A and B are shown apart, each in its own frame.
Chain A
Amino acid sequence: MTHASSFSIVKTFFSCVIFCCDKGKVHNRLVQGPRNMSLLRVCCTTTRGFVKRGLFLESTYTACHWTAGYASGGVTKDKEPLKKAKTPQGRFDMDETESKSKDVLERFPDGVNPETKEKGGPRGPEPTRYGDWERKGRCIDF
């Protein structure tokens, strides 16, 4: 067997391996296409050298590992999370970080009012304390 023919066998073997790894992931192939091609080229160049030195098996193992790794995990590295477009802040808009802490009427612990022992009742001070039903300064019923 000549060097050229053995090299061609290895090349076909590698392309098969890479193809198998990528079979289920169409978009990866499209994205990773150039990279895979370069990887293949790298593998080929390394193989050419390693075949001679007997490091062939190790290099095929590493190459497969890299290919598999790129096929599945490389997606996250490449894609950044989509950021929501920020509209100009209006007069009543609150900062996202502050909104939770700015709630004026706080929840009772476990929803139970400590003085009246009412469970699931209105938050804040007693709404009927002024004779009408008050909430946040508004009169709801009278």
Chain B
Amino acid sequence: QMRFCLFLTIKINHFCCFIQLPVVCQTSNRKLHFSIYRKRGDAKVSDAISTQYPVVDHELDAVVVGAGGAGLRAAFGLSEAGFNTACVTKLFPTRSHTVAAQGGINAALGNMEDDDWRWHFYDTVKGSDWLGDQDAIHYMTEQASAAVVELENFGMPFSRTEEGRIYQRAFGGQSLKFGKGGQAHRCCCVADRTGHSLLHTLYGRSLRYDTSYFVEYFALDLLMEDGECKGVIALCMEDGSIHRFRAKNTVIATGGYGRTYFSCTSAHTSTGDGNAMVTRAGLPCQDLEFVQFHPTGIYGAGCLITEGCRGEGGILINNEGERFMERYAPNAKDLASRDVVSRSMTIEIREGRGVGPDKDHVYLQLHHLPPQQLAARLPGISETAMIFAGVDVTKEPIPVLPTVHYNMGGIPTNYKGQVITHKDGEDTVVPGLYACGEAGCASVHGANRLGANSLLDLVVFGRACALTIAETNTPGEKLSPLKPNAGQASVANLDKIRFANGSTRTSEIRLNMQKTMQSHAAVFRTGDVLKEGCDKMDSIYKSLDDIKTFDRGIVWNTDLVETLELQNLMLNAVQTIVSAEARTESRGAHAREDFKDRVDEYDYSKSLQGAGTKPFEQHWRKHTLSYVDPKTGKVILEYRPVIDSSLSLNAEECAAIPPAIRSY
């Protein structure tokens, strides 16, 4: 009898194994953040586009393209709100370029002295040279403290004061009392790797939610229908399959496009994919001519050498061994401001006094300084010079040239993160499309970005996109129908490039483009130089038709992906140079030799009483919106006014700041 009982218990146990009992007994009403049975069964394979390229369709509530600081924040913000989100990225999240941002993040927490976000707002508006949209800047600076505290709650290990509050240091042109109260201490950091820590914190936090990550999927194009964005089509690099991510909301957070220039601090993957996707969809990009340069970037490597080198006595020399800064800035010499130094270096290179086999850079000489002083004042510089330039800083000079660091321009959005176009004098929202991070242009940086503001931009607007989507949508909404062959043009382009058999290689065309942009659309901008550059870029764009690729496979075809990236870079490059040529003024990072002044609607250097205001077409305090015809490479420019009113209508809470002359 005992034996029978034992047999029965074993049988029951066996039977129970086959029933899928829930892991958690759901007696409580609290909604769990994770789903127990992950929905992956929605992917359907079909031949809808082409029999050669079977397409896998995914249906989601939201898709985020890019997994840097902004992309991750948007992705898990959406998952937290309950949306079925996919994050499509061509790199593993912790490899995005955000990891290289080692500076700090600004926030008016008031830990070192009394601080107010309105003073931060003033500093940012002034830094943007009054081209920034004041409502977006208001939103960002007001949310800054909450954003930093939220990051700290996620586990980001900020450096602390003795009392345990977040330590803030003076950096990035920040002042107190609207510029009248001296230097403000607003920059929070994590030892010497804030961006790295931010990215890892956000990635770790995002794993608590059930965002589906599609890593190493290269996003090809947006799926647009009737002016509405219905998703993204992407190439899986690992197995060469095409995936269509259908979603009611698409967030673009693909980063900047530093790689259009020969010398830049960006990773090789900063190719402006988001900007190009939006351009091919027929939508505009905003303010692409505003590119931030730094005078002394190491030739070839792209790392920047600190201004402290010149501050400690380092000098810039040309191929004649002459200290050329004496001619351009007789008093300040090498300690002149960054833009003066950049322009002087570029003029020397253009006039043929550059060094090296291509005569395309200058030298920064430090070996005339005593080595002990150098090691004491600038520890680590000999190591940096040896690793990145291969020179012994106590014996040889370092090769340097002006280097691109950040792109202020991007996809135009409002302060909520929704992408906008300008039709009939009004800003209209493009339904279903959002942008944030360096790819978006809200525009908080305007004509010039202040230091430590870009990391803040990422988290605030990443969160803003997630909040806006959560406000206006509900999870699990039915998707509007999409044409079965949507994305066919992208796949046709992919096929064309995969079997391209012209005469020039991808790397040659890319180098041509980079060298042209570096010599014509860099720091030194005059009418004829820019015009010459526009014509050269036009011919380089046409040479894309004659491209040759070598790898005909579909699995991990890096030749194909690099060529797709080159197409994206080209679209960004032509818009940059044509917008720069059209803007006949100097504002922020866009400085022209032939138009040295800022042209606003009033002349703010004189008294405004009785002054006539210039009409919209004659002044330049406006955003550039550029459209490109992808087949010919022709750029069309339109303009959109700057938003001057801050978010609140109550002037006591936050008054808008009228433009003034920008001087530091």
> Is B32 part of the contact surface with A, judged by Cβ < 8 Å?
no
From A119, A124, A138, A142, B162 is in contact (CB under 8 Å) with A119
Collect the chain A residues with CB atoms within 8 Å of residue B452's CB.
Answer: 133, 141
> Is A33 part of the contact surface with B, judged by Cβ < 8 Å?
no
From B159, B171, B380, A124 is in contact (CB under 8 Å) with B380
Given A119-B159, A134-B306, A141 contacting B103 (CB threshold 8 A): yes
A1 CB, min distance to chain B CBs, angstroms: 51
A137 CB, min distance to chain B CBs, angstroms: 3
Instruction: Determine if A137 and B380 form an interchain contact, defined as CB atoms under 8 angstroms apart.
Output: yes
> Is B160 part of the contact surface with A, judged by Cβ < 8 Å?
yes
From B169, B171, B191, A123 is in contact (CB under 8 Å) with B191
Instruction: Determine if A141 and B104 form an interchain contact, defined as CB atoms under 8 angstroms apart.
Output: yes
In the complex, chain B residues 441-475 whose Cβ is within 8 Å of any chain A Cβ: 451-452
B407 CB, min distance to chain A CBs, angstroms: 15
Collect the chain A residues with CB atoms within 8 Å of residue B382's CB.
Answer: 137
> Is B381 part of the contact surface with A, judged by Cβ < 8 Å?
yes
Q: Could you tell me the distance between the alpha carbons of A136 and B379 in the complex, rounded to whole angstroms? A: 6
Q: Could you tell me the distance between the alpha carbons of A122 and B159 in the complex, rounded to whole angstroms? A: 8
Closest residue of A by beta carbon distance from B193: A122
From B167, B171, B338, B385, A121 is in contact (CB under 8 Å) with B167
From B159, B192, B305, A137 is in contact (CB under 8 Å) with B305
> Is B303 part of the contact surface with A, judged by Cβ < 8 Å?
yes
Given A104-B379, A117-B162, A133 contacting B451 (CB threshold 8 A): yes
> Is A20 part of the contact surface with B, judged by Cβ < 8 Å?
no
> Is B161 part of the contact surface with A, judged by Cβ < 8 Å?
yes
> Is A88 part of the contact surface with B, judged by Cβ < 8 Å?
no
Collect the chain A residues with CB atoms within 8 Å of residue B294's CB.
Answer: 139, 142
Instruction: Determine if B451 and A141 form an interchain contact, defined as CB atoms under 8 angstroms apart.
Output: yes
A102 CB, min distance to chain B CBs, angstroms: 9
In the complex, chain A residues 107-129 whose Cβ is within 8 Å of any chain B Cβ: 116-129
Closest residue of A by beta carbon distance from B451: A141
> Is B101 part of the contact surface with A, judged by Cβ < 8 Å?
yes
Write the B280-300 contact mask toward A (1 if CB under 8 angstroms, else 0). Answer: 000000000000001010000
Collect the chain B residues with CB atoms within 8 Å of residue A138's CB.
Answer: 303-306, 384
Instruction: Determine if B192 and A120 form an interchain contact, defined as CB atoms under 8 angstroms apart.
Output: no
> Is A92 part of the contact surface with B, judged by Cβ < 8 Å?
yes
Instruction: Determine if A141 and B101 form an interchain contact, defined as CB atoms under 8 angstroms apart.
Output: yes
Instruction: Determine if B384 and A120 form an interchain contact, defined as CB atoms under 8 angstroms apart.
Output: no
> Is A61 part of the contact surface with B, judged by Cβ < 8 Å?
no
From B102, B167, B305, B384, A133 is in contact (CB under 8 Å) with B102
Instruction: Determine if B306 and A121 form an interchain contact, defined as CB atoms under 8 angstroms apart.
Output: no
Collect the chain B residues with CB atoms within 8 Å of residue A127's CB.
Answer: 192
B98 CB, min distance to chain A CBs, angstroms: 13
> Is A16 part of the contact surface with B, judged by Cβ < 8 Å?
no
Instruction: Determine if A119 and B157 form an interchain contact, defined as CB atoms under 8 angstroms apart.
Output: no
> Is B404 part of the contact surface with A, judged by Cβ < 8 Å?
no
> Is A140 part of the contact surface with B, judged by Cβ < 8 Å?
yes
Collect the chain A residues with CB atoms within 8 Å of residue B104's CB.
Answer: 133, 141
Write the B372-386 contact mask toward A (1 if CB under 8 angstroms, else 0). Answer: 000001111111111
Instruction: Determine if B162 and A135 form an interchain contact, defined as CB atoms under 8 angstroms apart.
Output: no
Collect the chain A residues with CB atoms within 8 Å of residue B379's CB.
Answer: 104-105, 124-125, 136
Interface size class of B (residues with CB under 8 A): 35 or more
Collect the chain A residues with CB atoms within 8 Å of residue B169's CB.
Answer: 126, 128
The binding surface of chain A is classed by DSSP as: loop
Most buried by A among B104, B306, B338: B306
Collect the chain B residues with CB atoms within 8 Å of residue A133's CB.
Answer: 102-104, 171, 451-452
Closest residue of A by beta carbon distance from B377: A125
Instruction: Determine if A121 and B191 form an interchain contact, defined as CB atoms under 8 angstroms apart.
Output: yes
Collect the chain B residues with CB atoms within 8 Å of residue A122's CB.
Answer: 159, 189, 191-192
Closest residue of A by beta carbon distance from B387: A92
Instruction: Determine if B307 and A139 form an interchain contact, defined as CB atoms under 8 angstroms apart.
Output: yes
Closest residue of B by beta carbon distance from A131: B307
Closest residue of B by beta carbon distance from A130: B308
Collect the chain A residues with CB atoms within 8 Å of residue B296's CB.
Answer: 139
A122 CB, min distance to chain B CBs, angstroms: 4
Closest residue of A by beta carbon distance from B382: A137
Instruction: Determine if B308 and A120 form an interchain contact, defined as CB atoms under 8 angstroms apart.
Output: no
Closest residue of A by beta carbon distance from B292: A142
Instruction: Determine if B381 and A137 form an interchain contact, defined as CB atoms under 8 angstroms apart.
Output: yes
A119 CB, min distance to chain B CBs, angstroms: 4
In the complex, chain A residues 22-58 whose Cβ is within 8 Å of any chain B Cβ: none
Write the B308-334 contact mask toward A (1 if CB under 8 angstroms, else 0). Answer: 110100000000000000000000000
Instruction: Determine if B192 and A118 form an interchain contact, defined as CB atoms under 8 angstroms apart.
Output: no
In the complex, chain B residues 166-225 whose Cβ is within 8 Å of any chain A Cβ: 167, 169-172, 187, 189-192
Q: Could you tell me the distance between the alpha carbons of A121 and B158 in the complex, rounded to whole angstroms? A: 8
Instruction: Determine if B159 and A134 form an interchain contact, defined as CB atoms under 8 angstroms apart.
Output: no
Q: Could you tell me the distance between the alpha carbons of A139 and B400 in the complex, rounded to whole angstroms? A: 13
Instruction: Determine if B307 and A135 form an interchain contact, defined as CB atoms under 8 angstroms apart.
Output: no
Write the B86-107 contact mask toward A (1 if CB under 8 angstroms, else 0). Answer: 0000000000000001111000
Collect the chain A residues with CB atoms within 8 Å of residue B384's CB.
Answer: 136-138
Collect the chain B residues with CB atoms within 8 Å of residue A136's CB.
Answer: 379-381, 383-384
B410 CB, min distance to chain A CBs, angstroms: 19
Instruction: Determine if A135 and B102 form an interchain contact, defined as CB atoms under 8 angstroms apart.
Output: yes
Collect the chain A residues with CB atoms within 8 Å of residue B192's CB.
Answer: 122-123, 127, 135, 140
Q: Could you tell me the distance between the alpha carbons of A126 and B167 in the complex, rounded to whole angstroms? A: 13
Instruction: Determine if B305 and A118 form an interchain contact, defined as CB atoms under 8 angstroms apart.
Output: no
Q: Could you tell me the distance between the alpha carbons of A132 and B192 in the complex, rounded to whole angstroms? A: 13
Instruction: Determine if B308 and A119 form an interchain contact, defined as CB atoms under 8 angstroms apart.
Output: no
Instruction: Determine if B159 and A120 form an interchain contact, defined as CB atoms under 8 angstroms apart.
Output: yes
Q: Could you tell me the distance between the alpha carbons of A140 and B454 in the complex, rounded to whole angstroms? A: 13
Closest residue of A by beta carbon distance from B375: A104
Closest residue of A by beta carbon distance from B374: A137
B274 CB, min distance to chain A CBs, angstroms: 23
Q: Could you tell me the distance between the alpha carbons of A4 and B289 in the complex, rounded to whole angstroms? A: 106
Instruction: Determine if A120 and B191 form an interchain contact, defined as CB atoms under 8 angstroms apart.
Output: yes
Instruction: Determine if B304 and A139 form an interchain contact, defined as CB atoms under 8 angstroms apart.
Output: yes
Q: Could you tell me the distance between the alpha carbons of A69 and B507 in the complex, rounded to whole angstroms? A: 68
Given A124-B380, A127-B192, A135-B380, A118 contacting B161 (CB threshold 8 A): yes
Instruction: Determine if A141 and B161 form an interchain contact, defined as CB atoms under 8 angstroms apart.
Output: no
A134 CB, min distance to chain B CBs, angstroms: 4
Write the B131-161 contact mask toward A (1 if CB under 8 angstroms, else 0). Answer: 0000000000000000000000000011111
Q: Could you tell me the distance between the alpha carbons of A4 and B329 in the complex, rounded to whole angstroms? A: 112
Instruction: Determine if A139 and B305 form an interchain contact, defined as CB atoms under 8 angstroms apart.
Output: yes
Most buried by B among A117, A121, A137, A138: A137
Instruction: Determine if B306 and A128 form an interchain contact, defined as CB atoms under 8 angstroms apart.
Output: no
Q: A116-B167, A120-B160 provided; 17 other pairs, C-beta below 8 A?
A: A117-B161, A120-B157, A120-B159, A121-B167, A121-B189, A122-B189, A124-B380, A128-B187, A130-B308, A136-B379, A136-B384, A137-B308, A137-B382, A141-B101, A142-B294, A142-B304, A142-B405
**What is the interface of chain A, defined by CB distance below 8 A to chain B?**
92, 104-105, 116-142
For this complex, 6 residue pairs linking A to B, each with C-beta atoms less than 8 Å apart, are: A118-B159, A122-B189, A128-B169, A137-B380, A141-B104, A141-B171
Closest 4 A/B residue pairs (Cβ): A141-B103, A136-B380, A137-B381, A130-B308
